[in-house]
Amino acid sequence: TARYIGVGSYSGSTIYYTICEIEVYGYPLGDQLSELSFVRTGLGSRYPATVARANRVYPYNGLTGDVYSLPLEFPGDEAFNFALYLHGHGYLDLYLPCVYTVTGLIIQGSSVHYPYYGRFLTYRILYAYEKRRDMLTYYRDLENNGAVSFSGPRDEKERRREVFTNPFQAQIVRVNALSSSGRYAIKLDLLGFPNDTNSTQIPEEHMNKTMVDGSTLQVTLKYFYHLNFMQFNRKSAGLLRFYLSFEELAGEDEVFKVYNTTWMFNVQSANQSLYFPQVLQPLKLTFHIVNGSLSPDELSLLGKMTNDCPDGFTPHFDVCLRTITVVATQEVAQKHCQSYRWAGQRGTLFMPKDAMKMNFIIGKYYDWEVHVGIRRNSSTGSWEWFDGEPVSDGSWAAERAGNLYAVWRPWFNGLIPSGSSTARLYFVCQIPIVIRPNSCTKGPMVYYMHPSMCSGCNDDFAKWTDTDINIRVAHNDVMFIDEYFMNRTTNFRANTQDFWIFSSNPLSSPPQINSNNVLQHFPCVESCK
């Protein structure tokens, strides 16, 4: 975030001083803001509106700098998106860029000295799914259907977070002021997440729904979905109240909470949709019924099947990989990788066990040593990957010494012992790839020595020419693939022409490289049918 702060004055008998603030938003470089990688979408996620409209504001809005910004106290907070003084009983309309599931809001008053201090005491929320003000409707209590009146901050400095028991979808949200202490001053941000229009009902064959007992319904998903909302089609109306527990990581069950308080869901109508206040990717979902009853056939779940890999990761056979260009010790690197959650597992440091995974490191980090997921068992003396599998002799580029640590040296294409665990190096994280129904793991997105050489076994990789660097790359490739690709042939398309790749060539000595056979030695795999 970049800021420019200036002080100006106005001529006249009274001089007003203003503070101007400009914020520039962009994407973090590399992985410097790593904490953003594991923050769930949903509750606490702030998002911008495209425009705001108020019925009337005080003219001194332009003369009070305090109302436009906030100190950086919350992680990830820069400033409130909207801050102004309303003229008495009034309203503020927020227009959203698309349909959002609104889960709550953050509100604060202004602590500027008299006469500019003030805060909302009570207010109401209205919303509309379409961008039409004539369709605004009150946020209502499910039990009595009355419009809900919310309490404002207890003083001018408190940031009050209000979480909606029943999240709603909207493109317009109105804050309607009812009463105030001092001026009608408001600083406001909405909480929620954008609605995914690709969400569909999850097929019954993709999950198992069973009653554990009379008040517990358990749903086990066979595939990975981002869940957006629940659909209830009950035989009769009446209050249904329940809370959820879920399992996103195998064996780690947790109760759904908001600010350390168990979140209670309420359903009144016989047919009703209920939005998840937070997007979940569960292996298992358990409904703990407090009031009312619910049978498996009365519940449907809607969501979107997850991608093979999360944003920022590259699919590579059975794993998703992400290169981290921030140096760290092996311990810190492993903690960072474990912060990623995908396909029911935590991430871990990359474990280059086979030829293709070795080539991934060759392409990304040819000039730098990197941390990988390897350790030495102090009791047995044997080396093992972080998943417990023994490290093969072929993974070593140097003689194994008595050290407890090792790093990967790409230009040797192997492991070398390290005398210390405190070395700060680049690293690669891996997480499991999501396998979809009726599919298998496809060929890799492989990089060699230079990222522009090839983008993998598909139709869009770069042209190969008879240059020194291409010949050198070809030499390195064939030295690593003889066992994996022995007597194997496949074809691929390059520059609209089909080529056959033969990897059964004798590899005891480098082959003769020329413009006619460079492509012959490019390692590729067959795609899933």
The CATH number covering residue 89 comes to 2.60.120.260
439 within some domain: no
**Residue 410 shares a structural domain with residue 386:** yes
10 within some domain: no
**Residue 289 shares a structural domain with residue 335:** no
261 within some domain: yes
| Single residue among 432, 456, 490 that ends a domain in this structure | 432
pLDDT value of position 400: 67
CA 85 to chain centre: 36
**Tokens, residue 491:** 């074809």
At 143 the three-state DSSP class reads coil
| Single residue among 305, 336, 366 that ends a domain in this structure | 305
In contact, 268 and 237? CB cutoff 8 Å:
yes
**Residue 206 shares a structural domain with residue 276:** yes
| Single residue among 156, 177, 194 that ends a domain in this structure | 194
**Tokens, residue 51:** 């425009």
5 within some domain: no
Total structural domains within the chain: 4
24 within some domain: no
**Residue 211 shares a structural domain with residue 328:** no
**Residue 183 shares a structural domain with residue 218:** no
Q: Which domain holds residue 512?
A: 448-529
**Residue 180 shares a structural domain with residue 68:** yes
**Residue 141 shares a structural domain with residue 167:** yes
**Residue 214 shares a structural domain with residue 350:** no
Torsion angles phi and psi, residue 338, rounded to 5: -70, -15
**Residue 250 shares a structural domain with residue 215:** yes
458 within some domain: yes
**Amino acid sitting at position 79:** A
**Residue 480 shares a structural domain with residue 336:** no
**Residue 468 shares a structural domain with residue 335:** no
Per-residue model confidence as pLDDT tens for the chain (529 residues): 333 344 444 455 444 444 444 443 333 333 332 332 233 334 444 555 555 667 777 665 544 433 333 332 333 333 466 677 777 778 888 887 778 888 888 888 887 666 778 899 999 999 999 888 899 999 998 778 899 999 999 998 888 888 888 888 888 899 999 999 988 888 888 877 776 666 789 999 999 999 999 999 999 999 888 887 899 999 999 999 999 999 988 888 999 887 677 888 889 899 988 877 777 889 999 999 999 999 999 999 988 888 788 777 888 778 888 888 778 889 989 988 988 888 888 999 999 887 667 777 766 666 788 899 998 887 888 889 999 999 888 788 877 666 677 887 877 778 888 877 788 888 889 999 887 765 544 443 333 323 333 333 332 233 333 333 333 333 333 222 223 333 333 333 232 232 223 332 333 333 343 333 333 333 333 333 3
pLDDT value of position 144: 84
**Residue 83 shares a structural domain with residue 180:** yes
Using H for helix, E for strand and C for coil, what is the string for 81-139? CEEEEECCCCEEEEEEEEEEEEEEEEEECECCCCCCCEEEEEEEEEEECCCCHHHCEEC
